[in-house]
Amino acid sequence: MNNFRWWGERFSEPEERLSIVDLVNFGSLDLRLAGILWLIMERRAPVLVAAGPSNAGKSTLLHVLLDFLPPEVKQVHLEGGNEDFRFTEEAVPANTYMVAAEFSNYGFYIWGDNARTAFELLSEGYGLGGTIHATTIEEAVNILHGQLGLSPSLISQLDLVITIRMSANRSRATESKRCLETVGLIGLENEGLSLQVIATRNRESGELVFPKEEDLYPALSGRFGIAPDQIASEIQLREQFLGNLLQQDIKSHDDVRKAVVEFYRSRPS
């Protein structure tokens, strides 16, 4: 994938990058949610991945979601407090996706004026993906609003907020299991923010629960400009595609990314 900048060590890729198929295989999410997230990321949706503790898999999930971006989209890694946003002088907003390693006032992460500028660029058509330390969607929004001073209208430029929860791994007592817990669409309503949950995990059964199709599909259609009569088939197409990769034991990051690129190239323009 073409990039304006090389990945810096502050947001370096793991030694062994995981794929969406790996995460499905681990039980972090299911194929249906994977298909929905693919369809959303295909639209360069601004996304925020949240979890409370460190090493919960925020950056891993963000990397996995970035693999769903169309191959022509260029990723720009925001350089923390040193970011000058000069890339906007040459970048085409509709083909550019900004990546913020983390929204935090610690170290070299994105905070203050730079965080606000990144959100302001969303209204110009740029995409944005980042992570944040928060246990719930509400907490993540409160950090953006209360600590960063972002207005509800700026925060609503985000499309998606995803939370991850760490829990005991029944199969490996010494390890924690990382699961997507809540996926929600952020909106603006009566000058305040609204939240529409499109997937949540039942803590008793461990299964992901989705809204009724008559609620879910119109929400996705209206937000991402997808024809209402195509939503179900487009999600199913991606779900089956990823399911076939899983069945064929195609799970490595490189192989899955190549398969996703071929999927895009095989689709009519």
pLDDT digits over 109-168, tens only?
999 999 999 999 999 999 999 999 999 999 999 999 999 999 999 999 999 999 999 875
- What was the pLDDT predicted at 167? 73
3-state SS assignment for residue 176:
strand
Bigger pLDDT: 268 vs 40: 40
- What was the pLDDT predicted at 175? 54
- What was the pLDDT predicted at 81? 85
> Is 12 within the bounds of a domain?
no
Burial letters for 108-130: b for 16+ Cβ neighbours within 10 Å, e otherwise?
bbbbeebbbbbbebbeeebbbbb
Bigger pLDDT: 191 vs 11: 191
Number of other residues whose CB lies within 10 A of the CB of residue 86: 9
CA distance 256 to 20: 8
Domain count, the chain: 1
Indicate the range of 3-17, 154-168, 179-193 predicted with least confidence. Answer: 3-17
> Is 124 within the bounds of a domain?
yes
> Is 8 within the bounds of a domain?
no
Q: Is the pLDDT of residue 184 over 60?
A: yes
- What was the pLDDT predicted at 171? 52
- What was the pLDDT predicted at 98? 98
β-strand partners of 241: none
Indicate the range of 5-14, 104-113, 197-206 predicted with least confidence. Answer: 5-14
Helix 213-224, helix 231-247: angle, nearest 10: 100
Indicate if the alpha-carbon torsion angle 3, 7, 11, 13 is positive or negative: positive
- What was the pLDDT predicted at 76? 97
> Is 92 within the bounds of a domain?
yes
Whether 78 and 99 have beta carbons less than 8 Å apart is answered as yes
DSSP 30-69: -HHHHHHHHHHHTTT--EEEEESSTTSSHHHHHHHHHTTS
- What was the pLDDT predicted at 190? 85
Q: Which residues, other chains included, contact 207 with Cβ-Cβ below 8 Å and sequence gap of 6+? A: 201
| 204: CATH | 3.40.50.300
> Is 136 within the bounds of a domain?
yes
Q: Is the pLDDT of residue 9 over 60?
A: no
- Give the range of the structural domain holding residue 110, as residue numbers without chain letter: 17-266
pLDDT average, residue stretch 60-87:
95
- What was the pLDDT predicted at 106? 79
> Is 45 within the bounds of a domain?
yes
Question: Residue 219's closest CA among 207, 201, 231, 209?
Answer: 231
Bigger pLDDT: 191 vs 109: 109
Q: Is the pLDDT of residue 8 over 60?
A: no
> Is 183 within the bounds of a domain?
yes
- What was the pLDDT predicted at 13? 47
Distances in whole angstroms, Cα of residue 155 to Cα of each of 2, 23, 110, 181, 184: 28, 28, 15, 21, 13
